[in-house]
Amino acid sequence: MSERVVVAMSGGVDSSLAAALLVEQGHEVVGITLALAGDASRCCSLADAEDARRVAERLGIRFYVANYRERFRREVIEAFADEYLAGRTPIPCVACNQRFKFHHLMERAAALGAERVATGHYARLERDPATGAPRLLRGRDRGKDQSYYLFDLRPEQLARIELPLGGLSKPEVRERARALGLATADKPESQEICFVPDGDYARVVEALRPDRLPGRGEIVDESGAVLGAHAGIHHFTVGQRRGLGLAADRRLYVKRLEPAANRVVVCDLDGLGVRSVRLERVSWIAGQPPEEPVRARVQVRYRHEGAPASVEPSPPSGAWLRFDEPVRAVAPGQAAVFYGGDESDAVLGGGWIAETEA
């Protein structure tokens, strides 16, 4: 059945092909570029909006640019800086997806009379044959799978979403885009956070919060012995080895950050392992937590291969993870995403890492 669908067009090949596939399926497609991070970023710039416009003209669809830069700065960039200063490792892509590429985009779609929204994410949506409820699954291309970033979407949002690229690999996407003559077919993609194009997170924090920088502090080992000094905890993340500035006879890693004391605690590799993790703001794809603990494979960062664990819901909106074996470098502020069964591609839910226990 033909529907009016709004597509978030970033100016890259993925969202370009997503729009093209929906046109092929007979839908009335409207392209919208969300202007978010500004022209210094590697996406969502004016140049990217122009690329998206060229694709829209090729496809013969309506196209708009929606300016969300001030809201993006408040809701994502400033929150990113505050998390680093609080000793956590933020993951702004989840907030960007939840608030902008879906929530705010859905508001725009409703104003345009559109029933559904679509993006170029590499993830899949299916209907539960028994209940008809939406199920979120990994993309077929495991190297590009982006389901980790979508765990926070609510059932009512998933019911209105299209993910046309979920069954394709990246080479297939480029090949089909070339065949359709899309201007973005061979456009390089960014691997960094859009508003940190050079990878220097500390510089962004310092520019946004110059009056709240922690200053110099101590680097200590697990016994509290002082090993050196640092220029601010926002320069460090859990699991970091390089850039510690320490002269030691063994490899040392950041075990935890203590913002109240302005300290960085380091350890050897074995000291990085944790077995239990407390989560907050847990979201379940089914809309509500299970009544009993569930077994899952849990990813504690985007490129983590996942580890078997028991997920124990903790009312009203928390959970505890109990890993079968210690998992290294679990960082507060990151997301832990649950995948059902030993090899299942289904996302059960996820939450935000609040604290860890060895």
- The DSSP call for residue 51 is H
Catalytic one of 44, 93, 96, 267 = 96
**SS3 of 15, please?**
helix
- Region for residue 251 given its phi and psi (left: phi exceeds 0; alpha: psi -120 to 50; beta: otherwise): beta
Residue 53 to residues 78, 245, 273: CA-CA distances in angstroms? 29, 47, 48
Both tokens assigned to 114: 């559109």
Token representation of residue 259:
């913002």
CA angle 274, 280, 285 (to 5 degrees): 105
Q: In the chain, what's the furthest Cα-to-Cα distance?
A: 68
Backbone angles phi, psi at 59, to 5 degrees: -85, -15
One-letter identity of residue 291: E
Active-site position among 43, 44, 93, 194:
194
Q: Which two tokens stand for residue 86?
A: 């609080």
Residues facing residue 134 across a β-bridge = 127
194 annotated active-site? yes
Residue 29, class by beta-carbon neighbours within 10 Å (0-12 exposed, 13-18 middle, 19+ buried)?
Answer: buried
Helices 13-24 + 46-59 axis angle, to 10:
20
Residues of 251-279 as b/e, b for ≥16 C-beta within 10 angstroms?
ebbbbbbeeeebbbbbeeeebbbbbbbbb
Q: Extract the tokens encoding 21.
A: 């596939």
- Helix spans in 87-243 (H): 92-95, 105-111, 155-158, 170-179, 201-208
SS3 71: helix
Rounded Cα distance between 51 and 53, Å, is: 5
- Residue 43 annotated as catalytic: no
Catalytic positions, written as ranges: 96, 194
